């Protein structure tokens, strides 16, 4: 039974809510809660029934879930262990700044100058108290300058070890790939040699670019090794550095009984990494590998008749047939799996048709210009123009052109598509891929080799995610020195790690969402701040969360958001 009683102490009456129950047959007080004086109770009742003067909505669900993942990974603690004690004049530790930068990259990427304004739109200040000047962009820069290149490697190694231990990530399948990112660094800036002009995969040849290599797990596409390098260097030249770091990092994890499992790990990559030196390195390691070879380099394999091909696995890989052989490749005899995919064949055929159509339009424009007899270009220049039109892959093989005349006014062009050559090309090359591996038939079946090679979509998906401007984005990058760019790479990779782990945890709980959909659902859990203005003084505040749908309730429990929710 609950009752309200008053106690008079020095002339003042204080009220309590008391609950009494029988224990062992005798009445006993089992709980007692202080309510305050009569005026306090009256004010509380008035506050509970009055309308707020104004309200604010703060980001809660997404930032709290990401912060919880950063806590489980011990990001701030690991960074501080590597870097050492914080400066006496610092607003927060270096580890805290890296965790904050990672948090922002996951949910709403912005510059460090805009960070404090973004922070004010979140509920984060309830669980992370910082002084007003701690979020100044210059404090972030100070923290970034405190991290050296060797520190970056050690930080990533320790966080990866913590991640593998905490989340039991399967390391048996690893995928390596590289990309680059455009920057806005001025051409005359000498302080960022990592940003160079090169072959931009974003088609921004007018900008300096930074290269990034990743090794990710096939279990969730989680980044395990990152490697930043100057954008003018070919990807193949960075392979050795990544493999060396890979072997160092994972051998230490396995000897530490990380639960990753015994046996040799398998590294998967594309044909762009092929070189004699890279395979000398690989053969000296304990890594298995699955790679590919350019089909046009092996015409004898392309000429094998269709009768040699057999269905691989109609259920797992519909429309895929293959045959196996061996061949000396890069200094050793390797196992080759030669595949033909109907799906790939159709895509290549459609793409080539578009390429031919473009070449046809361009040649027709040249033909019309020459037919008018007003061309001023020499024959050599017109031939060079035609050669540029025919330069795209396979076009010159099926497009026949004839240029007659010597003087500019007499030049005439005729052209056409050789349908026989096109049919021969499709039969010979389209839909075919040559995979190769050091694994024997006892160690992996044909279907397993194909599945492992196709796992490259894990790292390709990661690169697409990092180029999403809204969430888990590498860009925009507002840093213009080598050291800060490398630190930027670190927390961008950490952001990708956190996002992939969140998707993996949700997927295991039966909630199947993309990164953007998952963060969007979590962002729908907002914190409402109700403000009641009294007759004088600061307004009283009351906090509560917005209503959740069924998916949001499951995510709320999965990521332990009750720990961060406002308490009544």
Which residues lie closer than 8 Å to 371 by C-beta, 6 or more apart? 412
For residue 464, give Cα distances in angstroms to 181, 323, 382, 391.
11, 33, 40, 28
Report d(CA 380, CA 386) in Å as an integer: 10
Question: Does the residue 124 lie in any domain?
Answer: no
Domain membership flag for residue 105: no
In a domain, residue 471? The reply is no
* Cα–Cα nearest to 359, from 325, 333, 335, 395: 395
d(CA 568, CA 553): 19
Asked whether residue 422 is domain-assigned, the answer is yes
DSSP letter string, 182-213 = E----TT-TT-TT-B----TTS-TTS-EEEEE
The last residue of a domain, from among 451, 477, 512? 451
Instruction: Name the phi and psi angles at 327, rounded to 5.
Output: -160, 145
Written in H, E and C, the secondary structure of 481-495 is CHHHHHHHHHHHHHH
Q: Can you read off the two tokens belonging to residue 50?
A: 């009055």
- Is residue 126 included in any domain, yes or no? no
Would residue 254 count as lying in a domain? no
User: How far is residue 370's CA from residue 372's CA, in Å, rounded to a whole number?
Assistant: 5
Burial profile 342-367: b = 16 or more Cβ within 10 angstroms, e = fewer: eebbeebeeebeeebeebbeebeebe
How far CA 136 is from CA of 67, 111, 114, 399, 495, in Å, comes to 20, 11, 9, 61, 21
Enter the tokens of residue 429.
């090359």
178 contacts 211 by C-beta, under 8 angstroms: yes
The structure's pTM equals: 0.86
Number of folded domains that form the chain: 2
The angle at the Cα of 420, spanning 414 to 426, to the nearest 5 degrees, equals 115
Q: Among all chains, which residue has been given the structure tokens 């979020």?
A: 135
Q: Hey, what are 494's tokens?
A: 């950490």
In a domain, 31, yes or no: yes
For helices 61-73 and 515-523, give the axis angle rounded to 10 degrees.
Answer: 120
Running along the chain, 568 residues long, what does each successive block of 10 average in pLDDT?
78 79 75 72 60 83 98 98 85 95 96 95 94 91 95 96 95 94 91 93 90 96 96 96 92 48 78 96 93 95 95 96 96 96 96 96 95 89 96 95 92 94 94 96 95 94 92 88 96 97 98 96 94 70 90 97 90
Domain span including residue 364: 289-451
pLDDT of residue 475: 85
Contacts 24+ apart (CB under 8 A), 507-515: 507/220, 509/554, 509/558, 511/551, 511/554, 511/555, 511/558, 515/465, 515/468, 515/471, 515/472
Which pLDDT score is estimated for 547?
Answer: 92
Kindly state the DSSP code that residue 64 receives in the 8-state scheme: H
Paired residues of 402 in beta bridges: 414
User: Is residue 352 situated within a structural domain?
Assistant: yes
> In sequence order, which residues have a C-beta less than 8 Å from that of residue 76 and are 6 or more positions away?
70, 93, 95, 96, 98, 99
Distance CA 243, CA 235 (A): 13
Residue that has been written with the tokens 């596409």 in this structure: 221
Whether the CB-CB separation of 513 and 501 falls below 8 Å is answered with: no
């Amino acid at each position: 039974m609950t009752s309200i009683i008053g106690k008079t102490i020095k002339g003042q009456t204080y009220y309590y809510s008391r609950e009494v129950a029988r224990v062992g047959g005798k009445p006993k007080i089992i709980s007692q809660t202080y309510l305050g004086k009569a005026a306090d109770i009256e004010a509380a009742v008035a506050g509970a029934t009055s309308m707020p003067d104004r309200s604010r909505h703060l980001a809660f669900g997404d930032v709290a879930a990401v912060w919880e993942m950063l806590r489980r990974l011990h990001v701030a603690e690991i960074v501080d262990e590597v870097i050492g004690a914080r400066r006496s004049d610092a607003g927060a530790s270096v580890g805290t700044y890296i965790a904050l930068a990672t948090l922002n990259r996951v949910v709403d990427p912005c510059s460090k100058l805009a960070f404090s304004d973004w922070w004010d739109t979140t509920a984060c200040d309830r669980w992370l108290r910082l002084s007003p000047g701690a979020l100044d962009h210059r404090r972030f820069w100070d923290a970034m300058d405190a991290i050296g290149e060797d520190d970056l490697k050690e930080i990533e190694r320790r966080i990866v070890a913590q991640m593998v231990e905490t989340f039991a990530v399967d390391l048996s399948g690893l995928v390596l790939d590289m990309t680059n990112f455009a920057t806005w660094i001025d051409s005359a800036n000498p302080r960022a040699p990592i940003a160079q002009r090169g072959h931009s995969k974003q088609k921004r040849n007018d900008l300096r670019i930074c290269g990034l290599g990743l090794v990710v797990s096939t279990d969730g596409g989680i980044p395990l090794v990152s490697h930043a390098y100057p954008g003018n260097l070919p990807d193949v030249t960075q392979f050795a550095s990544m493999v060396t770091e890979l072997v160092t990092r994972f051998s230490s994890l396995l000897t530490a009984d990380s639960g990753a499992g015994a046996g040799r790990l398998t590294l998967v990559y594309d044909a762009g990494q092929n070189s004699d030196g890279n395979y000398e390195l690989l053969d000296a390691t304990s890594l298995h590998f699955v790679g590919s070879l350019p089909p046009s380099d092996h015409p004898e394999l392309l000429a094998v008749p269709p009768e040699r091909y057999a269905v691989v696995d109609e259920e797992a890989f519909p429309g895929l047939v293959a045959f196996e052989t061996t061949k000396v490749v890069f200094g050793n005899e390797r196992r080759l799996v030669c595949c033909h995919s109907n799906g790939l064949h159709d895509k290549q055929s459609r793409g080539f048709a578009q390429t031919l159509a473009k070449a046809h339009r361009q040649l027709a424009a040249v033909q019309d210009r020459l037919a008018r007899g007003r061309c001023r270009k020499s024959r050599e220049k017109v031939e060079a123009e035609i050669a540029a039109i025919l330069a795209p892959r396979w076009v010159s093989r099926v497009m026949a052109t004839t240029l007659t005349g010597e003087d500019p006014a007499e030049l005439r062009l005729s052209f056409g598509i050789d349908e026989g050559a096109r049919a021969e090309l499709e039969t010979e090359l389209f839909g075919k891929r040559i995979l190769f591996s050091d694994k024997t038939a006892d160690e992996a079946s044909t279907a397993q080799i194909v599945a492992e090679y196709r796992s490259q979509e894990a790292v390709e998906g990661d690169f697409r995610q990092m180029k999403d401007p809204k969430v888990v984005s590498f860009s925009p990058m507002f840093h213009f020195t080598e050291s800060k760019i490398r630190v930027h790479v670190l927390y961008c990779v950490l952001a990708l790690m956190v996002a992939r782990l969140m998707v993996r945890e949700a997927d295991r709980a039966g909630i199947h969402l993309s990164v953007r959909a998952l963060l969007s659902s979590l962002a729908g859990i907002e914190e409402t701040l109700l403000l009641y203005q009294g007759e004088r003084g600061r307004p009283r505040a009351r906090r509560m969360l917005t209503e959740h749908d069924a998916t949001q309730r499951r995510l709320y429990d999965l990521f332990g958001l009750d720990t961060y929710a406002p308490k009544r």
